[in-house]
């Protein structure tokens, strides 16, 4: 194996045959004497890194491959079913508005309807505005969080129903009332689904706008 040599006088680099190991001879460039090292430096072998692993089975080491989260979008058929349900609900609200006197509808029934409408709105809204970088809630925890959030949303309509009618007839009055309801609904979405503040407000607004439209179709004040 050739021996790499560096001249101590002129710093020239060159190689000589290993048969000259231990001998002294002139530098090819500056002619100063150089003693050839007896032992050639060991070659360095660079190994390729181990392939990333996704399991510790058989290796005794923690997985080194990044954990890839598989996004599971809502099927198109589900969106179609939700859309059809929303249209049917709007049609039913209009039918009730033209056939049933609004004074004959009890407040508790409106509150129950607001809660039942809130459940799919809350679930669909979470799927639309959640942070895609985080694992979504699912299963029983998601159901319980959705029910809690829906209860708060419907409860805000209950509070709205307890306000005097003369305090909500004019739109300018909602300049003062609106922020209180938005903040309350936003806090409910933020706590229930760990959303950011802006997306929590958007989540509540989806429900508020849809139920306001239902109220208008039924002959009630939308707000």
Does a structural domain hold residue 41?
A: no
Structural domains of the chain, count: 2
Same domain, 84 and 21: no
- Answer yes or no: do 141 and 87 share one domain: yes
H, E, C per residue of the chain:
CCEEEECCCCCCEEEECHHHCCCEEECCCCCCEEECCCCCCCCCCCCCCCCCCCCCCCCCCCCCCCCCCCCCCCCHHHHHHHHHHHHHHHHHHHHHHHHCCHHHCCHHHHHHHHHHHHHHHHHHHHHHHCCCCCCCCCHHHHHHHHHHHHHHHHHHHHHHHHCCHHHCCCHHHHHHHHHHHHHHHHHHHHHHHCCCHHHHHHHHHHHHHHHHHHHHHCCCCCC
The answer to the question of residue 20 being in a domain is yes
Q: Against a cut of 0.85, is the pTM above it?
A: no
Same domain for 194 and 135? yes
15 and 87 assigned to the same domain = no
23 and 114 housed in the same domain = no
- Per-residue pLDDT of the chain (223 residues), as tens digits, is 677 888 888 888 878 777 777 788 888 888 888 887 776 554 444 555 666 665 555 555 556 555 555 555 656 676 677 778 788 888 888 888 888 887 787 888 888 888 888 888 888 888 888 877 777 888 888 899 999 999 999 888 888 878 777 776 777 777 778 888 888 888 999 998 888 888 999 888 888 888 888 888 888 776 7
Shared-domain flag, residues 129 and 20:
no
Residue 207 lies in a domain: yes
Residues 110 and 209 in one domain: yes
Residues 84 and 28 both lie in one domain: no
Same domain? For 100 and 205 the reply is: yes
Together in a domain, 10 and 118: no
Instruction: Tell me which residue range forms the domain holding 24.
Output: 3-35
Domain identity same for 101 and 187: yes
Same structural domain, 21 and 115:
no
């Amino acid at each position: 194996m050739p021996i790499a040599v560096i001249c101590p006088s002129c710093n020239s680099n060159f190689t000589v045959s290993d048969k000259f190991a231990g001998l002294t001879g002139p530098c090819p460039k500056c002619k100063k004497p150089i003693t050839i090292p007896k032992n050639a430096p060991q070659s360095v072998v660079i190994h390729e890194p181990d392939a990333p692993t996704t399991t510790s089975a058989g290796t005794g080491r923690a997985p080194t491959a990044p954990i890839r989260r598989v996004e599971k979008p809502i099927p198109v058929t589900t969106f179609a079913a939700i859309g059809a349900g929303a249209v049917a609900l709007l049609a039913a609200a209009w039918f009730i508005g033209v056939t049933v006197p609004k004074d004959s509808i009890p407040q508790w029934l409106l509150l129950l309807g607001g809660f039942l409408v809130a459940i799919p709105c809350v679930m669909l809204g979470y799927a639309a505005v959640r942070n895609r970088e985080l694992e979504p809630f699912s299963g029983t925890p998601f159901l319980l969080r959705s029910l809690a959030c829906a209860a708060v949303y419907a409860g805000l309509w209950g509070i709205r129903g307890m306000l005097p009618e003369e305090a909500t007839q004019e739109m300018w009055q909602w300049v003062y009332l609106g922020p209180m309801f938005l903040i309350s609904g936003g806090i409910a979405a933020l706590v229930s689904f760990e959303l950011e503040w802006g997306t929590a407000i958007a989540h509540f607004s989806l429900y508020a706008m849809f139920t306001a439209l239902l109220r208008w179709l039924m002959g009630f004040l939308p707000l």
